[in-house]
Amino acid sequence: MIVKIISGGQTGADRAALDTAIRLGVPHGGWIPKGRLTEDGPLPETYALKETASAVYAERTEKNVIDADGTLIIARGKLRGGTAYTRAMAVKHGRPWLHVDLRQTPAFRAALAIRQWIATQRIMVLNVAGPRASKDPRIYNDTLALLESVFYMSLADGSPEKTAESGIAPEAAVFSEPPACVKDAVQQLSDGLPLKDRVTIANMTEGELPALLPTLGEYIVHRFGLPAGNIPLMRSCRWVARRSIKTEEAAARLIIRELWKLLRRTHALRRVK
C-alpha cells in the first residue's frame, strides 16, 4: 500500500507523480536541487519537496532512490540521461526498480504490472521518475493517467488468492456467471470493491471517471464477457443509456458511471466520517 509518493519535481513524469498524489490525497515529497531548480523555473512552494545542498540534479536523484522503497521509471523506449542514471542509482543501492516502457506496454497492462510490482516488493514510499516535458511533451499526461489508474484498479485481477491479498472479498470478486443487466453488473462490482476504493470512486467527479477506463473498464469488458458477445448486457446498456451503445468501451463507460452514481448514494455518510 502506497503511503507516500516522492519525485525530483522536474517537469514531465516527476511533476505528474506529485500532482497525482495531491489529487488522490496521498502525502508527497522528495528531494529537489538547491533553488528548487526545474527546467521551467523554481518549483512552487506548494510542493512539499526538500532542497539538496547543491544545484546538481544527480544528487537529488540518488537521495530520492535511497529514501524510497522502490523506484518506478515511466518512459518511452530506451532509458537515457537522467532516467538511465535513476536506474543506475537503484541498482547501486540495491533498491527495487521498475521500468515501464510506454512504447511497448498498453496502459492496462502497465497498470497491472505496476500494481503487482508494488504488492510483491511491499512498497510504501514510491519514487517516480521519467523524462522531463521538453524531452517528451506527452509524458506528464500519460504518467498522470497511469498512476491514477493504478490507484483505481482493485478489480483488475479476479483470482481468489490475489483478490484476497488486495482486500477484495473472494466470494464477491469471483462471479459464477457474467451479469445480464447493468444493475447486476454494478452490484457485482460494488460488492467486490474494498471500502476504501468504494469511497474513492464515490468522491470522484464525473469528469474524473475516464481515468478508470484503462483498468476497471478493461476488467468490465473481459470479466463480463463483452468480447464474447454478452448480448443481454449490451441490450441493458442501451436501455439504460436510452441511446445506441455499439462498442465494448462505451458499455464499460456506462457501467462505470452507473457504479459511480450508486456509490455516491450509498457512501455519502461514510465520506463524512
Each residue's pLDDT, cut to its tens digit, for the chain (273 residues) gives 789 999 999 999 999 999 999 988 899 999 999 999 999 999 999 999 999 999 999 999 999 999 999 999 999 999 999 999 999 999 999 999 999 999 998 777 788 789 889 989 999 999 999 999 999 999 999 999 899 888 876 444 443 333 333 333 333 334 447 899 999 999 988 887 777 778 778 878 888 888 888 778 888 888 888 887 789 999 999 999 999 998 999 999 999 999 999 999 887 544 333
Q: Say whether both 8 and 135 belong to one domain.
A: yes
**Domain end point (choices 133, 151, 169):** 151
Task: Count the Cβ atoms, other than its own, within 10 Å of residue 246.
Answer: 10
Q: Say whether both 73 and 179 belong to one domain.
A: no
Q: Tell me what percent of the chain is helix, strand and coil, each rounded to the nearest 5.
A: 55, 10, 40
Domains held by the chain: number: 2
Q: Say whether both 27 and 83 belong to one domain.
A: yes
Which grid cell sits at 239?
Answer: 436501455
Given strand 28-29, what is the order of strands in its sheet?
A: 28-29, 4-6, 125-129, 70-75, 97-101
**Domain end point (choices 151, 174, 194):** 151
Residues 204-263 pLDDT 10s: 888 888 888 877 888 888 888 888 778 999 999 999 999 999 899 999 999 999 999 999
Could you list the residue range(s) of the whole structural domain that residue 54 is in? 4-151
Q: Say whether both 125 and 182 belong to one domain.
A: no
Q: Say whether both 179 and 124 belong to one domain.
A: no
Largest CA distance in the chain: 63
Residue 143: alpha-carbon gap to chain centroid: 9
**Domain end point (choices 151, 169, 185):** 151
Q: Say whether both 121 and 170 belong to one domain.
A: no
Report the CATH number at residue 107: 3.40.50.450
Q: Say whether both 167 and 261 belong to one domain.
A: yes
Rg (alpha carbons) of the chain, rounded to whole number: 20
Q: Say whether both 143 and 164 belong to one domain.
A: no
* pTM score: 0.65
231-241 and 248-266 helices cross at what angle (nearest 10)?
60
Task: Count the Cβ atoms, other than its own, within 10 Å of residue 149.
Answer: 25
